[in-house]
């Protein structure tokens, strides 16, 4: 089993030779521009189809301003979601895609909307797609209301003033964290429900995966279920069985297996790029795309970004600051 996907590195034309029949039909007579734009999504569909996994599609908005906002919401969830919120991602393929590509490959997708995320079942024809997350919960206002007594600060020692400002900064960060967390929790709950469904559906997925496994993969699954360790790819291979066991066993075993799944999901989608996007960081004075030599930044020292929003999904091919999308 090639657990990294047989389409890695292939272009759309080469990938078309191994697409499922319904996917090939979706491309029949498509304009070249649409075909090129949908190549990343089609490759993810193929990976999900081959692995008997649902496909989570994070929607890249058309508006450039929305790209920044939505990318930060996704980053907050992927970087700071709890184990139970991220564990389901080990059971799925994840891709970022614009709506024009989604509509090209899933004609039933709503063409007049840009929900935050879709969940697609592509194991058999016809493929099914539904909204996993319609939108994000807005962050509440998170500025400190307490006034600063600057005259009083003048009577403090330098060390006391430094301690005051450090304490104030920490209180500001805690307030920002509290304003962002409800959105992370809501996102995690919605996507967990969309990916895993009910226990009966999860058992069917686990049974289907088990039937396709090699003897060595089954042995690895048994070791993971028994408390042994494995790589992130081993966990992903066994993810449906681990998720079922977590739900059935409960208690400490549920916590252990949930953490195993969540750690694998973080390795797959937090430490690596999600197809269709890049990871970037912002401190308030520019954006820095991970793995890119050409960066956008101004060493002004005046900007501020909440700490849970500093690492985010970057949806641009080129920065708009550098002359194009």
| 238-243-248-252 Cα dihedral, nearest 10 degrees | 100
19 in Cβ contact with 50 (< 8 Å) = no
247 by Cβ neighbours in 10 Å (0-12 / 13-18 / 19+) ranks as middle
pLDDT band at 35 (very low <50, low <70, confident <90, very high): low
Strand partners for 93: 55
SS (H, E, C) 188-251: HHHHHHHHHCCHHHHHHHHHHHHHHCCHHHHHHHHHHHCCCCCCHHHHHHHHHHHHHHHHHHCH
Core vs surface per residue 8-28: b (16+ CB within 10 A) or e: eebebeebbeebbeebeebbe
- Indicate whether 33 pLDDT > 60: no
Give the pLDDT score at 295. 56
Give the pLDDT score at 9. 36
Give the pLDDT score at 324. 46
CA 237 centroid distance within chain? 19
Of the listed ranges 98-107, 167-176, 227-236, the least confidently predicted one is: 167-176
- Indicate whether 17 pLDDT > 50: no
SS (H, E, C) 133-151: ECCCCCCCCCCCCCCCCHH
Segment 184-213 shows an average pLDDT of 94
Q: How far is CA 91 from CA 15, 80, 88, 241, in A?
A: 23, 19, 5, 9
Return d(Cα 131, Cα 195) in angstroms, integer: 11
Who has greater pLDDT, 114 or 168?
A: 114
The DSSP H or E segment spanning 71 is helix 64-80
Instruction: Map tokens 């890695």 to a residue.
Output: 8
User: For residue 256, what are the contacts with CB-CB under 8 A and spacing of at least 6?
Assistant: 227
**What does pTM read for this prediction?**
0.82
Return d(Cα 213, Cα 225) in angstroms, integer: 15
Give the pLDDT score at 148. 61
Of the listed ranges 21-25, 90-94, 151-155, 211-215, the least confidently predicted one is: 21-25
The DSSP H or E segment spanning 171 is helix 158-196
Instruction: Map tokens 């993971």 to a residue.
Output: 224
The proportion of the chain whose per-residue pLDDT surpasses 70, expressed as a percent, equals 78
């Amino acid at each position: 089993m090639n657990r990294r996907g047989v389409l890695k590195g292939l272009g759309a034309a080469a990938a078309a030779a191994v697409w499922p029949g319904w996917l090939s039909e979706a491309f029949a007579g498509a304009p070249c521009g649409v075909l090129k734009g949908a190549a990343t999504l089609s490759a993810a569909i193929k990976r999900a189809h081959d692995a008997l996994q649902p496909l989570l599609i994070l929607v890249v908005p058309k508006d450039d301003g929305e790209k920044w906002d939505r990318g930060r919401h996704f980053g907050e969830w992927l970087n700071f979601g709890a184990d139970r919120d991220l564990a389901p991602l080990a059971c799925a393929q994840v891709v970022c895609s614009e709506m024009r590509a989604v509509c090209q490959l899933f004609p039933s997708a709503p063409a007049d909307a840009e929900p935050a995320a879709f969940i697609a079942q592509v194991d058999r024809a016809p493929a099914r797609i539904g909204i996993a997350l319609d939108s994000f919960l807005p962050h509440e206002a998170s500025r400190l209301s307490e006034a600063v007594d600057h005259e009083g600060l003048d009577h403090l020692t330098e060390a006391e003033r430094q301690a005051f400002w450090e304490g104030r900064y920490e209180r500001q960060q805690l307030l920002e964290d509290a304003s962002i967390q409800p959105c992370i929790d809501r996102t995690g709950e919605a996507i967990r429900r969309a990916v895993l469904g009910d226990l009966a559906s999860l058992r069917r997925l686990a049974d289907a995966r088990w039937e396709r496994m090699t003897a060595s993969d089954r042995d690895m699954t048994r070791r993971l279920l028994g408390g042994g360790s494995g790589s992130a790819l081993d966990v992903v291979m066994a993810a449906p069985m681990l998720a079922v066991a977590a739900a059935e066993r409960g208690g400490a075993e549920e916590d252990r297996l949930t953490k195993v799944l969540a750690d694998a999901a973080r390795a797959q989608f937090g430490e690596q790029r999600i197809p269709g996007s890049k990871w970037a960081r912002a401190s308030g004075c520019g954006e820095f795309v991970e793995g890119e030599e050409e960066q956008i930044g101004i060493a002004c020292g005046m900007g501020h970004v909440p700490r849970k929003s500093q690492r985010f999904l970057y949806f641009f091919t080129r920065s708009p600051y550098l002359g194009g999308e």
